[in-house]
Structures are given as structure tokens and as C-alpha cells.
């Protein structure tokens, strides 16, 4: 992660892709309280390959002993020293000139975590919440495992927010000033382009999942969360066979899902998010995994409209049905 050190107090500052320094606490990313510093004094910008410094001040900025040209980009590299307002001021030292990235910055004994497609908090084994990117809301969001409502029941994360789970705490660090620029806004794969093939053992103890896409096939092995997807898909296929239309078929009340699977809602949510995570990562995050399981008020359904369910060697359910034109 790109970082700069304030040599006056030895504070380490992670850098956003467009990071400003100055005396105005509400208009800059990092406050510099010196009276000879301008309200917005300096901008550091990542251009995709390197960092550049741009002086925006009245009193000037020095790179070592050289004063920067006002409002012009000057390339930087690790080890460079920037003096704000005077060459005698304690410098800001660029200690890491790598690309910026978003993360959850751990406080105390909490580990810092890179923001990826799914981050379980406080850990993978006993998650209480999950942080993920929502294509619908164009933002990073956090969802509690206790949620019993729609996919929109989530909190949008903003730069600087704090999250506490278990006995650990994190601060949200968003490298991009525009959240939506960090992840592709147009997923390459639609759920309508995926055929889900479930292989269920006769005793229904093991469920494997295979994905068929236009140009490739993916085997996802056996996982416990595949059975949850199969259970929802089977309900959708049965209702389709009974004449339910595409918008109506497959919805199951959450209480019924809990009864069918013998699980509480936090456990069911963990399985849903693990299924979303596995499929999203297998497709290189080029798929909007929120569509995998659709959520409504107090109900859910499988989002795929093309699937086959084999029990043993026999095709048990399919959508569309095998005899459909």
C-alpha cells in the first residue's frame, strides 16, 4: 500500500489515489496545521503507473531542495522528501510508492484486510458480517449475518467509517475518491448466461456444482452451501412445472427455509455469502453474485433460470424443462 511518513511526528499515512494535504481539515485528506501551509497545499496523484506531486499553494512545496512548479505534476519515487511551505519544514517522506488500494485498516490487534469481493468479519470461521461490493448500489457495503430481509438491507461504507465485530475494530480506507471506479461497473457475465448443474447423491448428503458458460466450464466441487442453492433451485423448478411465471416462481419464506434446512438465519446467510464468494472468485469477479440468491422481504429464491439437478445418474429437475422448445 502506498504510504507517506510525516517525519515530524513519525505518523504513517496511507495514500488515496488523489490525496491532498493542507490546513483545511474538511477539504483535505490529511491535515497539516503549520501556519505557512495553504488550505489545500499539495496533491499527490496516482496516474496508473507512478505517483506525481502537484503544488497548489501560495508558499510553495520543495522536493528535496528543488521548489516544485506551481500546479504542474512532478514524478515521485520512494524515498523522496516533500517540504510544505518552506525547505526548512520537516518533510513528508514517500516510503512506499506502490499502487494505492482499498482496505480495512486494523486497529489494535485487528489485522488490516485488503478489500476484496467478500471480506468476512471478524474472521472466516465465525463471521458476524460481510463486506462486499454492490453493483446495484455502486458502493462497498456491509451486511450483518442476522439480516432477514432484502439484499438492500445493508449499510453503504464511506471512507473513514469504523467497523467493530467481536473484539476487533477496523477503519474503512477507500483508495478511490469515487468508489465506483475501483471495480468494473459492467460485469462480463450475466446470471442468464450461466447454466448451473447440480449433482446430488442419492442420500442427499453430498452436492457438487458445475457451471456452464458460453466459452468455458467450471467445476466447483462439493460444498455444503451448494445444497442450499440446490434446495432453492428445486423449489423454482417445481413451481415452474406448476405454471408459475418467471417472476413468481421459486420464492420461499425465510421461516420455511430455516425449517427445511434445520438452520437459523445467521447460518443460512453465511452459506449464501460463501456461495456468492466461491462463484464470484471462480469467475474472476466478473459476475454480480448478488443475483445468485434473490432476497425479498422475509423470503428468498434461487436467481438462476437455467439449471439441471441430477440425483444419482438421473435428471430430477431442470429449468427450462427438458421438453421445452
Distance CA 183, CA 140 (A): 10
All three cell numbers of 178: 469515487
Contact (Cβ atoms closer than 8 angstroms) between residue 103 and residue 1: yes
Q: Mean of the pLDDT values across residues 105-131?
A: 94
Contact (Cβ atoms closer than 8 angstroms) between residue 82 and residue 65: no
Quote the pTM value.
Answer: 0.86
pLDDT score of 294 more than 80: yes
Residue 2 banded pLDDT, cuts 50, 70, 90: very high
Edge-to-edge, what's the strand order for the sheet holding 293-296?
252-253, 299-302, 293-296
Q: Mean of the pLDDT values across residues 148-168?
A: 83
Distance CA 177, CA 180 (A): 9
The Cα-based distances of 128 to 18, 131, 165, 166 in angstroms read 33, 10, 7, 8
Q: Mean of the pLDDT values across residues 163-186?
A: 79
pLDDT score of 180 more than 50: no
pLDDT score of 324 more than 70: no
Q: Mean of the pLDDT values across residues 237-251?
A: 94
DSSP-assigned letter for residue 287: B
Per residue in 38-73, pLDDT (tens digit) is 999 999 999 999 999 999 999 999 999 999 999 999
Q: Mean of the pLDDT values across residues 100-118?
A: 93
Contact (Cβ atoms closer than 8 angstroms) between residue 320 and residue 307: no
Neighbours of 188 (CB within 10 A): 12
Distance CA 17, CA 39 (A): 20
Distance CA 325, CA 306 (A): 14
Q: Mean of the pLDDT values across residues 4-20?
A: 96
Amino acid at each position: 500500500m502506498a504510504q507517506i511518513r510525516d517525519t515530524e511526528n513519525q505518523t504513517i499515512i496511507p495514500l488515496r489515489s488523489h490525496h491532498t494535504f493542507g490546513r483545511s481539515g474538511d477539504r483535505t485528506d490529511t491535515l497539516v496545521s503549520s501556519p505557512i501551509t495553504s488550505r489545500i497545499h499539495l496533491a499527490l496523484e496516482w496516474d496508473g503507473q507512478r505517483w506525481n506531486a502537484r503544488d497548489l499553494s501560495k508558499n510553495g512545496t520543495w522536493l528535496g531542495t528543488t521548489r516544485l512548479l506551481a500546479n504542474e505534476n512532478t514524478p515521485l519515487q520512494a524515498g523522496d522528501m516533500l517540504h510544505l511551505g518552506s525547505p526548512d519544514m520537516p518533510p513528508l517522506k514517500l516510503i512506499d510508492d506502490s499502487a494505492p488500494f482499498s482496505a480495512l485498516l486494523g486497529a489494535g490487534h485487528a489485522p488490516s484486510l485488503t478489500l476484496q469481493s467478500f471480506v468476512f468479519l471478524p474472521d472466516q470461521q465465525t463471521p458476524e458480517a460481510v463486506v462486499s461490493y454492490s453493483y446495484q448500489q455502486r458502493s462497498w457495503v456491509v451486511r450483518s449475518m442476522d439480516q432477514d430481509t432484502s439484499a438492500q438491507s445493508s449499510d453503504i461504507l464511506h471512507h473513514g467509517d469504523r467497523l467493530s465485530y467481536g473484539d476487533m475494530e477496523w477503519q474503512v480506507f477507500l483508495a478511490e475518491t469515487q468508489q465506483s471506479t475501483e471495480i468494473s461497473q459492467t460485469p462480463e457475465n450475466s446470471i442468464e448466461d450461466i447454466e448451473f448443474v447440480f449433482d446430488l447423491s442419492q442420500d442427499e448428503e453430498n452436492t457438487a456444482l458445475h457451471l456452464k458458460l458460453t466459452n468455458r466450464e467450471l467445476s466447483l466441487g462439493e460444498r455444503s452451501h451448494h445444497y442450499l442453492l440446490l434446495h432453492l433451485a428445486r423449489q423454482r423448478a417445481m413451481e415452474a412445472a406448476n405454471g408459475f411465471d418467471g417472476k413468481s416462481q421459486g420464492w420461499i419464506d425465510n421461516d420455511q427455509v430455516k425449517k427445511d434446512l434445520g438452520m437459523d438465519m445467521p447460518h443460512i446467510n453465511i452459506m449464501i455469502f460463501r456461495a456468492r464468494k466461491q462463484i464470484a472468485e471462480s469467475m474472476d469477479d466478473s459476475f454480480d453474485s448478488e443475483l445468485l440468491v434473490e432476497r425479498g422481504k422475509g423470503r428468498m429464491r434461487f436467481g438462476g433460470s437455467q439449471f439441471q439437478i441430477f440425483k444419482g445418474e438421473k435428471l430430477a429437475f431442470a429449468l427450462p424443462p427438458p421438453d421445452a422448445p
